Structures are given as structure tokens and as C-alpha cells.
Amino acid sequence: MANHDVFVISEHLQGKLSDVTFEMLGKAHSIASALGGRAVAVLLGHGVMELAEQLGAADQVLYIEDAALRDFVPEQAEDILKGLLQREQPALTMIANTSMGMDLAAALSATLDWPLIAYCSDVQVIDGKIAAVSQIYGGKIAVETLSGYDHTVVSVLAGVFSAVERRATTPGSLQIMPGSRAANAGRMRFKGLIVPEATDVDITRETMLVSVGRGIGSKDNIELVEELADALGAALAASRPIIDSGWLPKQRQVGKSGLTVKPKLYMAIGISGAPEHLQGMKDAELIIAINSDASAPIFEVADYGIVGDLFDIVPALSERIAEVRTR
């Protein structure tokens, strides 16, 4: 009998499940419903039962417990997942398109001889088959793929699906399974985790962002945008050219190679709107763009747009907002 289940490979680090895990689970439910199967979360780890209990959105949680899985080692994770997937034969396996996920998705596709659709921004079921949209060439091209196979692997971009409620319920079924590798097995060894320095702001959690782009001209001019952000009570963010120039830290970067944000307000100042940047902010509730180029792609996603010189508009906005807030 064919297995119509959708497996989601849960990703976690330092005792915390990643947001993309819950985003994939949300999508897995709709896909599983269309296929007539279940949404199944797969969790690999050691001593992380509390994480398994947070996956209540899944119809079933398969928790593989092994001391060798205390830290993420691609070779060990791949070996265990290969055995599990061969045995369970899910119709679809969803893996995050992250640094961890990219280590797993291609390797599992090759070893299982199942097709892989990578960089997915959408996954659907069409006539009983898995269909996906992939963003390639930095998001400049969207490719639609229909899998003709019984088993398919997809790697999903972070931030493209809505996350399900994390702790709404306990898992419908929790199955604890022992691992199959000794702690010293394989050629790879975990040596240590290097954590980047903490910053004063996490732009993924901010409700309002004012983001600056190449149009600001120089580092000294960023102060103009900072004043607008302060007037609004918003955090300052930036597009990649600003980060590459060293004018703001990497943790402030919005876009495919930076962070995906979904604030209530996103103001794009001097940002043309390259596909890589749009991918990281297009789902903001309200987008306001200021750019001197009326044909800039940012206006295609903006709710409101101002065509003009930011050096005239931004100071005027800051002044007016400050006046209103002091009334």
C-alpha cells in the first residue's frame, strides 16, 4: 500500500526548534490532506524530549534518540534518516533549505534515488503529484516542477509559508525510536559550535523596520534614515550593498543572503528591490518605498510609494512624525 504521508525533518540548534520547522509543518498539513496522508514530524537528537512535545501541530512525531545525535553531524543524520525513509516510504519529505538542510537534502536524494526539488517557495499537489516552485539564480527565475515519482524530497526556503501554532496541542502520536550508530561512527567529528556575537537588535522580531539601500550614497548619510527610524520607534535594517560596504553589521541585512522579516511596517529607503531583497521582506503587512526611480522593482510590492529624492523626503518625514508624536 502506498504511503501518502508527508515527513518534515525538524531542525533545531541549542535547544530551540527553528521557525522554518513550524512553517514546513503548516504546509505539510495541507499537502497531506490532499494526498490522504498525515503530517509527520521527524526529530533527531539526544535529551531533547521537550522539543518533541512542542511539535503538537504534527499528526505524529518520530523522535530518534541517540547520544551520537547530541550535535548535528551531517553524515550521522543522513545515515539514520536514510534507514527511516527507506522503511516508511513517505510520499514527500520536506527539509529546510538552510545550511543544515542543504547538507541533508541532496545526500538523501542521491542515496535513496528520490528526486530533489530545491529552493522551493511553494509546494502543492496537482492530480495526486507533488508540484513545486523553485527560486533559482538568486530569485530571478521561478521554475515550476511536477514530480512524477512516488517519493519526492523538497528543500524549502525559510519564511515562505505561515508557521503553525507551536504549542497548541500535544502530538497526536509520539513514537520514540532508538538510533542506530555508535557515537564514534563515521568519518566526521563534531569539534565545536562557533556562535556569532550577539547584537543589540533582532530585526526578525521587530514590528517596524526602516531599511536603507544603495541610494543613500555614503555611510555618513545613514544618519538621516536613523533619525526617521527613531522618530517612528522602528529598528534600522539594510539591503546587501550596505552590508557589503561595511556600513552596517550583517545582522541588519534583509534578503535571501540575510534575514527574512515580516514586520507590520517596512519602509524601504533608496532600495531598488532586487529579487534577493524582495524575498526577505515581501510578506510585510505594510510596505512603503521611497526611490527616485519610478521603475524600481520595489514599487511592484509596495503598498505605498514615493518617487523622489530621499534626501528631501526623509528629513521632512522625520520632522513631521516627530511633530505628530509630541502633540
List, in order, residues 6 or more apart from 64 with CB less than 8 Å away: 42, 43, 44, 45, 80, 84, 177, 178, 179
pLDDT digits (tens, 9 = 90+) for 81-125: 999 999 999 999 999 998 889 989 999 999 999 999 999 989 999
Nearest Cα residue to 186 out of 73, 101, 63, 110: 73
Has residue 139 been placed in a domain?
Answer: yes
Check whether residue 209 and residue 318 sit in a common domain. yes
Of 178, 211, 246, which marks where a domain is finished? Answer: 178
Does the structure show a pLDDT above 80 at 169? no
Question: Distance (Å, rounded) from C-alpha 153 to C-alpha 116?
Answer: 5
Does the structure show a pLDDT above 90 at 27? yes
13 vs 189, higher pLDDT: 13
Of 178, 212, 239, which marks where a domain is finished? Answer: 178
Check whether residue 47 and residue 124 sit in a common domain. yes
Least confident window among 274-278, 292-296, 307-311:
274-278
Check whether residue 22 and residue 144 sit in a common domain. yes
Has residue 107 been placed in a domain?
Answer: yes
pLDDT of residue 135: 81
Of 125, 145, 178, which marks where a domain is finished? Answer: 178
pLDDT of residue 166: 47
33 vs 137, higher pLDDT: 33
Check whether residue 220 and residue 85 sit in a common domain. no
Radius of gyration of the chain (CA): 22
Cβ atoms of 116 and 109 closer than 8 Å: yes
Residue 215 C-beta-side C-alpha neighbours within 13 Å: 25
Name the pLDDT band for 270 (thresholds 50, 70, 90): very high
pLDDT of residue 1: 40
Q: What is the mean pLDDT of residues 169-189?
A: 67
Check whether residue 40 and residue 173 sit in a common domain. yes
283 vs 9, higher pLDDT: 9
Q: Which residues pair with 96 in a beta bridge?
A: 156
Does the structure show a pLDDT above 60 at 181? no
Has residue 248 been placed in a domain?
Answer: yes
Check whether residue 227 and residue 146 sit in a common domain. no
Does the structure show a pLDDT above 90 at 136? no
Check whether residue 21 and residue 135 sit in a common domain. yes
Has residue 192 been placed in a domain?
Answer: no
Name the pLDDT band for 22 (thresholds 50, 70, 90): very high
Has residue 99 been placed in a domain?
Answer: yes
Question: In this structure, what CATH number is given to the domain that contains residue 252?
Answer: 3.40.50.1220
Domain range holding 130?
6-178
Check whether residue 14 and residue 68 sit in a common domain. yes
Has residue 283 been placed in a domain?
Answer: yes
Q: What is the mean pLDDT of residues 62-70?
A: 87
Question: Distance (Å, rounded) from C-alpha 302 to C-alpha 84?
Answer: 45
Secondary element (H or E) of residue 240: helix 240-244
Check whether residue 82 and residue 161 sit in a common domain. yes
Does the structure show a pLDDT above 90 at 236? yes
Check whether residue 16 and residue 133 sit in a common domain. yes
**Pairing of the two strands 235-238 and 141-146:** unpaired
Check whether residue 34 and residue 156 sit in a common domain. yes
Least confident window among 91-105, 157-171, 273-287:
157-171
Has residue 52 been placed in a domain?
Answer: yes
- How much is the pTM? 0.71
Check whether residue 39 and residue 169 sit in a common domain. yes
pLDDT of residue 68: 80
Has residue 290 been placed in a domain?
Answer: yes
Question: In this structure, what CATH number is given to the domain that contains residue 18?
Answer: 3.40.50.620
Q: What is the count of structural domains for the chain?
A: 2
